[in-house]
Amino acid sequence: MPITFFNWQSGALSPGVAPYNTLSPNLIAVRDELGKRFGGTSLGGYGVRPVRGGSSPSSHGFGSAFDWRIADDAARAAAMAWLIANYEVLGVQAIHDYRGGRIWHANRYPGKDPNTWWRPSQVPNMGESWAVYLHIETDRSNWSNNTPVANRVGVSTNPPPEPPPAVGFDPSRGIWGLYPLNKAKPTLREVTSAPSKEISEYTRYLQGVLMLKASQPIKVDGDFGPATTTAVKNLQKFLGLTVVDGVVGPNTWKVIDALASR
């Protein structure tokens, strides 16, 4: 059913009052399926407390959120992609990607693309390299849905995340060990014809960094297509670059190399 975003901080409900005094049955079902598909560990669910860095009641106080740690970057990115692709079936209205320093909301802002992320300001732990966890919220209409996810109609049978390409690590050359950091590289953009071997390898390097270091759910295949363009634009927008065009020129390469060296 369509998701209607419910603001748990609106004051319409009081935290810790039945039935919202335990973790949502819907989130228990989502959490169980998330663990089966992508691994990870629970960092908690129900608990009455203020939001991080504020005084409003946290969604946790209504049992409408849980935190889930996935240390592997590729698995975490795949988990977010799966949650968003199936958000209506799962009853998921929000994802906070603490490692990526960004937030996704379903249907909170009419007309926005459901894949749109935004960057909050002054939220503790957001963007920290150690904060490899997700905050996941249910909407109010699905709060009590206790149907196991595997039994829900329309849920994707998303395959396990693809392993990263088998390329050795070399700190002097970045995570993929392909090209020296901070050296001039060719400008990359979306192409419709077959790229040269060199451009394909640079594209593969770019995609690897976007996938593992920027949590972008893309394939590392050396093909600079629409998905890679979108991933580059997302990174450019997230970092506040002057030009958001999906083209990887000198300024964007500096960002990619900086990510690759971490």
175 and 74 in contact (C-beta within 8 Å)? no
Q: Which among 167, 155, 156 is positioned nearest to 211, based on CA atoms?
A: 167
- Asked which of 151, 174, 200 is the last residue of a domain, the reply is 151
Confidence of residue 55 (pLDDT cuts 50, 70, 90): confident
Q: Is residue 19 part of a domain?
A: no
Same domain, 214 and 131: no
pLDDT surpassing 80 at residue 246: yes
Q: Quote the number of domains for the chain.
A: 2
* Polymer length in residues for the chain: 262
Number of H helices, E strands in the chain: 6, 6
Residue where a domain stops, chosen among 119, 151, 183: 151
pLDDT-derived band at 209, boundaries 50, 70, 90: confident
* Displacement of CA 183 from its chain's centroid (Å): 29
Is 54 found in the same domain as 138?
Answer: yes
b/e map 217-248, b = 16+ CB within 10 Å? bbebebbbeebbbebbebbbebeeeeebebbb
On the question of pLDDT at 211 being above 60, the answer is yes
Q: What is the pTM of this model?
A: 0.60
Mean pLDDT value of segment 188-194: 86
Higher pLDDT residue, 111 or 207? 207
The neighbouring-strand residues paired with 193 are none
In a domain, 16, yes or no: no
Q: Across residues 185-200, what is the average pLDDT?
A: 85
pLDDT tens track for 113-165: 666 777 776 677 777 778 899 999 999 999 999 999 999 988 876 555 444 44
Mean pLDDT of all residues belonging to the chain: 83
The average pLDDT across 31-60 equals: 87
Instruction: Tell me which of 124, 151, 178 is where a domain ends.
Output: 151
Share of the chain above pLDDT 90, in %: 40
pLDDT value of position 93: 94
Shared-domain flag, residues 87 and 187? no
Are residues 72 and 138 both part of a single domain?
yes
Under a CB-based contact definition with an 8 Å cutoff, are residues 225 and 207 in contact?
Answer: no
User: Does 213 lie in the same domain as 103?
Assistant: no
Report d(CA 135, CA 118) in Å as an integer. Answer: 15
d(CA 29, CA 101): 26
Taking 80 as the threshold, does the pLDDT of residue 86 lie above it? yes
Q: Are both 205 and 256 inside the same structural domain?
A: yes
Say if 6 falls within a structural domain: no
Find the domain containing 209 and state its range: 163-262
Residue at 156 is within a domain: no
- Bridge partners, 117 (sequence order): 104
What is the sign, positive or negative, of the torsion defined by CA atoms of 223, 229, 230, 231? positive
d(CA 234, CA 249): 15
Same domain, 89 and 174: no
